[in-house]
């Protein structure tokens, strides 16, 4: 056997990767996605029992697998906190310097205008009030009691009735001032002094009060008793009473914080990987059998897997941060973005996959999946006919409504009691719905980073008042009218055979923008009898006509049109010849050898159903304008001849379009052109 040389081996390997490169990359992408998602999932022991208060235990006897504390219910802890706070009183400090300073200020400001007796009377009044104590009206507890701290931080219980609030102290001072019989101006000055200077000498000590409060709450324990390993928690068929419910829920809580270790850890990881792979494989099978083009598009497949992985990563991060509820995470963003960039069916399938995977993060997976699937599908259906970005606001409101109704209905079905509804959940749903509005700026980012074009952007581009189309309508009005007719024909045709109707319409509107460079050289813009081609060689005229494709590509790039629209410009003539000038050259120079490339468009040929439909619509509409007296017969023959010629020239071999599709398109074109040219139906026996 002849040995294989290293060069031959390398050549074989290169050939293999050249042929199978995309398939290998696709496999690597899917395997890496499955592994990353598996790493992001929670690796904790699951509590596999479902139970309800006062309902029979439907499983085998539950034995405690290890020692664990019995946790109090959240409502019980909250009640204990409330009871503790009822006995909690605020703490105040005595400001002994304030009365001294106030008396000095009174003597300084009024000793020159008041008699010594009047001054002493006012000072005594202030001293008497401060001896009792002056406080603000708050903060005090419901009973109006508080603790006064003396110099040794010993507390003295006081009641509000035993002291003066600041308004009372001022009123007493005012009564004394009025009783002195002073002049109006002096009386007013003293009252202003009282308003500005009388302050509480019993000052609220917030720091000490909060310290005592925290210490009081710290004494409240979250557990009551222990369950020892091997202890029977509940026997099969027994009712789940309050005490048992507390033990079972405590065991579930302990499981929630327990991670696998050793051999269990690896087996659990392998199990999760298999489960994730199974879920992903169902999605891949859907793409392979029903969305083959998308499956073969590695870039789009990568974006789908990236979006799914990022969604799981958000849940994983939120879980690590111990957020109050998984319903705060807006899972609906994923199907909303998918719908805007692709279509509704793909969004539904991706929503199903994401819901199954994110259910790992929920303590109640059945409830979680029901709510997420219904809210996600509602978001998708609200964007079925997405035409403007403001629709995301409507979608956000619908998401909240479906979450709220779904949660209420699920609770009634499972609990049968309205009191089991948790009002806080509706707040979670509101936050979730508001966060879905992030989908709008995210959509803009995807379009810029990955080159996607959403229906929203297509609708904006289809506006005839957009800069480029407005320019086309002014500078080349004939071409503009031609593009409108082509857009109508192409949109109807792609709708008939299946495809992206909006993309086709917008592509048709922009396919001839290259004619803006030399509009007068195209017959639809020639209003006078003079034709500028009459003074040009046939080759030069052909190059001007052909040039509108390259000019259109250059113009589209300068206006930052997306590549998917530039494809319509690039392919709408394929690699066909400019037959008029080519045949004119042959007739006028029969003896000369012709360079056919000078009369041929650069291509490429259409490579999608949408671009193929545009080629047919463009050619048929342009040719129909040359009919002097359009009739049903002449229109039918024209449509058949043009499209048959394109088939013979193999213009559609790269497009995903069938002969059956083309036959249906021809029938539609004939019908629409008959309507456009007002061709009457000829009845039997009718004279021409």
Rg (the chain; Cα; Å): 42
Query: pLDDT tens digits for 30-43?
Result: 999 999 999 998 87
SS3 breakdown of the chain: % helix, strand, coil, rounded to 5?
65, 5, 30
Percent of the chain with pLDDT over 70: 91
First CA to last CA distance, the chain = 85
Q: 251 is written with which tokens?
A: 């065991």
Question: What is the spatial distance between Cα 42 and Cα 399, in angstroms, rounded to a whole number?
Answer: 27
- On the question of pLDDT at 17 being above 50, the answer is no
pLDDT at 21 over 80: no
Instruction: Dihedral sign for Cα 607, 609, 611, 613, please.
Output: positive
Handedness of CA 392, 395, 399, 405 (dihedral sign): positive
Question: What integer pLDDT is reported at residue 686 of this predicted model?
Answer: 47
Provide the pLDDT for residue 589. 85
The predicted model gives 588-614 an average pLDDT of 89
645: left (phi over 0), alpha (psi -120 to 50) or beta: alpha
Domains of the chain plus CATH, in order, are 18-44+262-445 (no CATH), 83-217 (no CATH), 462-676 (1.10.3210)
Residue 683: per-residue pLDDT: 46
Sole residue written with tokens 């080629």: 615
Per-residue pLDDT for 688 more than 50? no
Instruction: Give the mean model confidence (pLDDT) for residues 81-86.
Output: 83
Q: pLDDT at residue 679 above 70? A: no
Residue 3 pLDDT: 55
Backbone φ and ψ for 226, nearest 5 degrees, come out as: -135, 155
Residue 526 reports pLDDT greater than 50 = yes
pLDDT mean over 96-117: 89
Q: Which of 68-72, 261-265, 273-277, 386-390 has the lowest mean pLDDT?
A: 261-265
DSSP label of 41: S
The answer for 157, left when phi > 0, alpha when psi is -120 to 50, beta otherwise, is beta
Can you tell me the distance from the alpha carbon of 529 to that of 464, in angstroms, rounded to the nearest whole number? 30
Rounded average pLDDT over 169-183: 89
Task: State how far the Cα of 527 lies from the Cα of 287, in Å rounded to an integer.
Answer: 52
| Residue 260 pLDDT exceeds 70 | no
If you search the block for the tokens 């994923």, which residue do you land on? Answer: 334
CA distance 189 to 180: 13
Average pLDDT value for residue range 433-459: 85
* Structure confidence by residue, pLDDT tens digits, 362-420: 877 888 999 999 999 999 998 887 767 778 888 999 999 999 999 999 888 877 778 77
Contacts of 190 (CB under 8 A, 6+ apart): 110, 122, 177, 182
Per-chain mean pLDDT for the chain:
86
pLDDT one-digit tens code per residue, 474-506: 999 999 999 999 999 999 999 999 888 999 999
Give the highest mean pLDDT range of 179-183, 318-322, 474-478, 583-587.
474-478
Report the greatest alpha carbon distance in the chain: 138
* Span 336-356, pLDDT tens digits: 999 888 888 999 999 999 999
Query: Does the model's pTM come out above 0.75?
Result: no
Q: Sorting pLDDT into bands at 50, 70 and 90, what band is 9?
A: low
Residue 2 has pLDDT above 70, yes or no: no
Q: How far apart are CA 491 and CA 616, in angstroms?
A: 12
pLDDT tens digits, residue range 199-258?
A: 998 888 888 888 988 888 888 888 888 988 888 888 888 888 888 888 888 777 777 555
pLDDT band at 687, cuts 50/70/90? very low
User: Sorting pLDDT into bands at 50, 70 and 90, what band is 19?
Assistant: low
Contact in structure between 205 and 95 (CB atoms under 8 Å): no
Alpha-carbon separation of residue 292 from 298, 453, 563 (angstroms): 11, 20, 21
Predicted pLDDT of residue 139: 54
Q: Quote the pLDDT of residue 57.
A: 83
**H or E element that contains 225:** strand 223-227
Structure confidence at residue 11 (pLDDT): 54
Q: Are 328 and 285 in contact (CB under 8 A)?
A: no
Q: How far is residue 528's CA from residue 27's CA, in Å, rounded to a whole number?
A: 62
């Amino acid at each position: 056997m002849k040995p294989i040389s290293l060069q031959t081996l390398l050549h074989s390997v290169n050939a293999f990767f050249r042929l199978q490169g995309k398939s290998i990359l696709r496999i690597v992408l899917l395997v890496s996605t499955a592994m990353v998602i598996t790493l992001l999932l929670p690796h904790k022991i699951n509590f596999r029992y479902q139970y309800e208060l006062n309902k029979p235990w439907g499983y085998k006897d539950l034995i405690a697998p290890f020692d664990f504390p019995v946790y109090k219910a959240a409502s019980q802890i909250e009640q204990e906190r409330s009871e503790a706070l009822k006995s909690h009183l605020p703490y105040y400090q005595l400001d002994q310097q304030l009365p001294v300073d106030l008396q000095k200020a009174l003597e300084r400001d009024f000793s020159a205008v008041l008699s010594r007796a009047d001054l002493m009377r006012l000072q005594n009044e202030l001293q008497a009030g401060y001896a009792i104590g002056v406080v603000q009206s708050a903060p005090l507890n419901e009973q109006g009691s508080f603790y006064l701290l003396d110099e040794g931080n010993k507390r003295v219980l006081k009641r509000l009735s035993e002291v003066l609030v600041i308004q009372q102290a001022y009123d007493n001072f005012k009564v004394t001032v009025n009783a002195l019989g002073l002049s109006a101006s002096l009386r007013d000055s003293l009252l202003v002094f009282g308003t500005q200077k009388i302050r509480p000498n019993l000052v609220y000590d917030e720091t000490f009060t909060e310290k005592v409060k925290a210490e009081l709450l710290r004494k409240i324990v979250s557990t009551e008793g222990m369950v020892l390993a091997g202890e029977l928690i509940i026997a099969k068929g027994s009712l789940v009473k309050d005490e048992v419910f507390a033990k079972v829920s405590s065991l579930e809580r302990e499981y929630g914080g327990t991670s696998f270790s050793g051999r269990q850890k690896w087996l659990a990881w392998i199990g999760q990987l298999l489960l994730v792979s199974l879920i992903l494989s169902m999605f891949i099978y859907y793409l392979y059998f029903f969305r083959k083009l998308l499956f073969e598009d590695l870039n789009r497949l990568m974006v789908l897997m990236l979006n799914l992985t990022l969604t799981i990563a958000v849940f994983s991060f939120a879980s690590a941060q111990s957020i109050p509820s998984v319903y705060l995470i807006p899972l609906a963003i994923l199907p909303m973005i998918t719908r805007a960039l692709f279509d509704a069916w793909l969004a539904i399938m991706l929503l199903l996959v994401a819901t199954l995977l994110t259910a790992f993060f929920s303590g109640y997976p059945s409830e979680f999946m029901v709510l997420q699937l219904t809210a996600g599908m509602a978001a998708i259906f609200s964007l079925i006919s997405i035409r403007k970005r403001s629709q995301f606001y409507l979608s956000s409101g619908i998401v909240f409504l479906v979450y709220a109704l779904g949660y209420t209905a699920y609770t009634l079905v499972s609990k049968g009691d309205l009191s089991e509804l948790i009002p806080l959940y509706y707040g979670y749903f509101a936050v979730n719905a508001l966060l879905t509005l992030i989908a709008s700026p995210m959509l803009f980012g995807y379009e810029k980073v990955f080159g996607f074009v959403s229906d929203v952007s297509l609708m904006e581009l289809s506006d005839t008042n957009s800069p480029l189309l407005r320019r086309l309508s002014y500078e080349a009005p004939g071409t503009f009218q031609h593009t409108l007719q082509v857009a109508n024909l192409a949109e109807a045709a792609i709708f008939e055979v299946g495809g992206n109707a909006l993309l086709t319409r917008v592509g048709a509107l922009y396919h001839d923008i290259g004619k803006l460079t030399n509009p007068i050289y195209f017959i639809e813009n020639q209003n006078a009898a003079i034709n500028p081609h009459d003074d040009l060689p046939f080759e030069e005229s052909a190059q001007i006509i052909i040039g509108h494709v390259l000019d259109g590509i250059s113009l589209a790039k300068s206006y930052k049109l997306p590549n998917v629209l530039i494809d319509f410009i690039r392919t709408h003539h394929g690699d066909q010849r400019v037959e008029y000038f080519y045949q004119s050259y042959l007739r006028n120079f029969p003896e000369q050898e012709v360079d056919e490339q000078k009369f041929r468009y650069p291509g490429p040929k259409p490579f999608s159903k949408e671009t193929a439909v545009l080629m047919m619509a463009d050619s048929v509409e342009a040719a129909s304008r040359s009919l002097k007296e359009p009739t049903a017969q002449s229109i039918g023959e024209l449509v058949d001849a043009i499209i048959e010629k394109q088939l013979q020239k193999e213009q559609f071999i790269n497009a995903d379009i069938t002969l059956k599709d083309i036959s249906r398109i021809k029938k539609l074109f004939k019908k629409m052109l008959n309507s456009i040219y007002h061709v009457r139906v000829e009845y039997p026996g009718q004279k021409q």
